[in-house]
Amino acid sequence: MSGMHNKSKIVMTSLLLSFGLSAAALASEPLATTNDENYDTLKSEINELRDQIAIMQELLKQQSIVLQNKVEPEVSKAEIKKLKKDVKKVAKLAKSAEEWKNTNSTVHLAGYASVGFSKQAGANGSFSQAQFSPIFHYQYKDKVLLESELELKILPDGSTSVGMEYLTIDLILNDYMALIAGKFISPLGQFRQNIHPSWINKLPSAPVGFGHDQAAPVADTGIQLRGAIPMGDSDMRANYAVYVSNGPELIPEGSEIEEIATEGVARDQDGKKVYGGRVGFNPIAKMEIGLSVASGQAAIALESARSYNVLGADFAYQWEKLDLRGEYVQQKVGALSSSVAPESWKWSSWYMQGAYKLPNNFEAVARYSDYDSPHASQDQRQLAIGLNYLFAPQVITKISYEFNDGLAGTSAAANRIRAQIAYGF
């Protein structure tokens, strides 16, 4: 292609030089209109010049035809070929991107981690907590959601325990209802299902009575229906959860029931199920009131079943920089004359908590909780005061002091200082 352009330039340059030389020769000779010889000469040169111009025009015309018919199509074909190749590449990439954009499945990783320090009055302090709880979500369209939380933590002897907090398959039935099957956090009350993760809980510890195997149920294995519904034309809304699950297991100690194991076991020793649920109301913005109830049967291994009941109430309210919440829960098992522990047994607990946001990302917290157990050594009342600092909305550091009142000489009576850093992601 460059050769053709060079030849074109040479031809045009030669023509222009020829035209310029002819004009120069004409200009260098004096014009004489009175002499016939000069007139004839001038006429001859003008005719010659006209012939040269005609030749130049013809050559330019031919050159234009050459450029249009020979050079440009060759260049266009090459460019079109390359362009088609590039378009195919772009189309392939676009298709790949479109597949990700319109995917039917979504995978998401969330969770939290925390590290804690604890020192009991009269004893040595230690870094007593290092925990990692990843939460996995896998959703197919808007129909099915699989969710699971694992709990990995360091034990006092340095070994690592691995547990499954929950694993459920959620079928989204409509805008107001989902069917949940598997092991799920107990839907009774507020603290266990919504507040217990370390980066959400505003103190380094749970309220007394709301830990594992105490007054508040922890988890269930079964099925659950839950959702939310509007309440007519008002701003009031309601949420609900109803479930059926395996019954809890009763752990005896001599002639007493030491504790109720409510960790969501995957067996049912007495073959009896527990039915229960919670309903929550939002009468005004940023306020919720909830009621919980469950009923069924539970048993000591190799014994007959006895009645089992749960009752609870909770509230939460946010006003400007103030966060208030409280909760009551009780678990009760009935008497059974044929049992090694024939009496009825009840565990109950309640707490009230307030938190206030201070300037510069600080937050003050105070909580009072009271736990009553069938066993005097476990009874405990606690006042916890704390100060938090939020490095980011999901990164919080906490320090608190717990004033504990329990049976003298037991850990329930020992005051503690706690510190924790927690990160939710």
Q: Is the pLDDT of residue 8 over 70?
A: no
Look at the chain and report how many structural domains it folds into: 2
Give the residue from 70, 100, 130 where a domain finishes: 100
Q: Are residues 60 and 134 in the same domain?
A: no
pLDDT category at 338 given cuts 50, 70, 90 is very high
Highest mean pLDDT, choosing among 10-19, 22-31, 266-275? 266-275
- C-alpha distances (whole Å) from 4 to each of 36, 60, 86, 246, 409 are 47, 14, 28, 90, 106
Q: What is the pLDDT averaged over residues 201-213?
A: 94
Highest mean pLDDT, choosing among 38-47, 205-214, 347-356? 347-356
CA gyration radius, the chain:
44
| Selection from 309, 369, 396, 312 nearest residue 344 by Cα | 309
Q: Are residues 55 and 112 in the same domain?
A: no
Query: What is the percentage of the chain residues whose pLDDT exceeds 90?
Result: 67
**Residues spanned by the domain of 381:** 104-424
CA distance linking residue 13 with residue 128, whole number of Å: 93
Mean confidence (pLDDT) of the chain: 86
Q: Are residues 129 and 27 in the same domain?
A: no
Give the residue from 44, 68, 100 where a domain finishes: 100
Q: Is the pLDDT of residue 44 over 90?
A: no
- C-alpha distances (whole Å) from 233 to each of 230, 237, 279, 284, 400 are 8, 10, 19, 14, 44
CATH label of the domain that carries residue 297: 2.40.160.10
pLDDT category at 26 given cuts 50, 70, 90 is very low
Give the residue from 72, 100, 128 where a domain finishes: 100
The pLDDT score that the predictor gives to residue 36 is: 58
Give the tens place of pLDDT for each residue, 172-186.
999 999 999 999 999
The pLDDT score that the predictor gives to residue 174 is: 94
Contact 425, 112 (CB under 8 A): yes
